Amino acid sequence: MEFTSLLNTSLDLNAKPLRMIEDHPIPKQEVGSNLFELGRDLTVNDERDALIEELNRVTAENKKLTELLTVMCENCTELRNQLMEYTAKTSPVDNNNNNNTAASKKRKAESSINNGGNNNMDDKNINTGASESSSSDEDSSKKRREEHVKPKILRTCVRTEVSDTSLIVKDGYQWRKYGQKVTRDNPSPRAYFKCSFAPTCPVKKKVQRSIEDQSIVVATYEGEHNHPQPSKVETNSGSNKGVALGTAPSSNSSGPTITLDLTKSKPSHEDTKRFGGKIDAPELQHYFVEQMASTLTKDPNFKAALAAAITGNFLRQNEKM
DNA sequence: CGCCTTTGACCAGCGC
DNA sequence: GCGCTGGTCAAAGGCG
């Protein structure tokens, strides 16, 4: 995990201003001006005191920020563990559902995905399952085989600029676009991607703008990568101006459709349901705090912005002096 | 030259 | 059987 480097980044924030002080202890104009020497001793002392005071203040601030980041990292780790536990728990349930709906067709699965990842088993699915169980052995065994290799599905939401039509979601993996379609329920085209890092990698990705909010791109991952992530910390660059707020599919992803919509700050209905429908539930609030912490600690832009803000503060303070 | 994107064609599932 | 729809294929062209 990259948290150590993350912490190092923030811990170094004081180094630059200190070096600046060492490198330029006295402004150039003051050198060689004997007239100011006497009076300057006082001002230099004042400046030094002020600088020391400021340094102490900023050091304390930096310490606070470091502590905050440490807490965020811990929360991130905890969230990951919880996600792994959750997926591990739900995997057998999913398998049962797959058995029950062994005959559920491709299209059905897709429709359930489009319904926000609800795993509700409606009567229709049950009925089709029953009818298909009476089909020929060859067909049923074939379908059972297909169900066994049924890819695991993970949905993520990414906020991008509306003007950005690239539909590219940088998640650290390499993708090859193999198709694009305009679907009936959404005027925005849906792009189809395959993982191109490993030829045998079965993972596919569908990317489409949300019909409700054009600034949100929904990426649906199917399957598991059979190779390590080529670039763990890949920043959003080039044509992609979006900030990946969701989670990329990891090799640990498993179970039913998991939707992590981090583009919103308020809990969704689905999320509140997960915690017994109580929006005030401490578990739910803890869950969202962890999600936000995870998002921030994972976002290199956040780190850069934090460093820039603190550095900028130092520079402003120096200019005043 | 190899990789990628684009895009029209094709295939399969599903409803009527 | 037919039409609609989503998913995939593959040829063509662009780009580094």
Q: Which tens digit of pLDDT belongs to each residue from A107-132?
A: 444 444 444 333 333 333 333 333 33
Q: Is the pLDDT of residue A17 over 70?
A: no
Please check whether residue A155 is in contact with residue A259, taking contact to mean a CB–CB distance below 8 angstroms: yes
Locate the DSSP E strands across A125-165. 153-159
Higher per-residue confidence, A202 vs A141: A202
CA–centroid distance for A14 within its chain: 28
Per the CB < 8 A criterion, the answer to whether A158 and A263 are in contact is yes
Where does the pLDDT of residue A86 fall: very low under 50, low under 70, confident under 90, or very high at 90 and above?
Answer: low
Footprint of strand B on the protein (CB under 7 A): A 104-108, 124, 128, 166, 168, 174-181, 191, 196
Residues 6+ apart with CB under 8 A from A18: A55
* Nucleic strand C within 7 A of Cβ A149: no
Report the nucleotide nearest the CA of residue A222, measured to C1'.
C7
Give A207 or A155, the one with higher predicted confidence: A207
Nucleotides of C under 7 A from a protein CB: 4-10
Start-to-end Cα distance in chain A: 41
Going by C-alpha positions, the residue among A249, A256, A224 that lies closest to residue A156 is A249
The integer distance in angstroms from the CA atom of A197 to the C1' atom of B10 is 27
Please state the length of chain A: 321
Convert the pLDDT of each residue in A3-15 to its tens digit: 333 333 333 344 3
Alpha carbon distance A285, A288 (integer Å): 5
Beta strands A216-222; A189-195: pairing state:
unpaired
For strand A216-222 and strand A153-159, is the pairing parallel, antiparallel, or unpaired?
Answer: antiparallel
Taking residues A142-147, what's their average pLDDT? 40
Protein-contacted positions of strand B (CB under 7 Å) = 3-9, 13-15
Q: For the domain A153-222, what is the CATH superfamily, name and number?
A: WRKY domain (2.20.25.80)
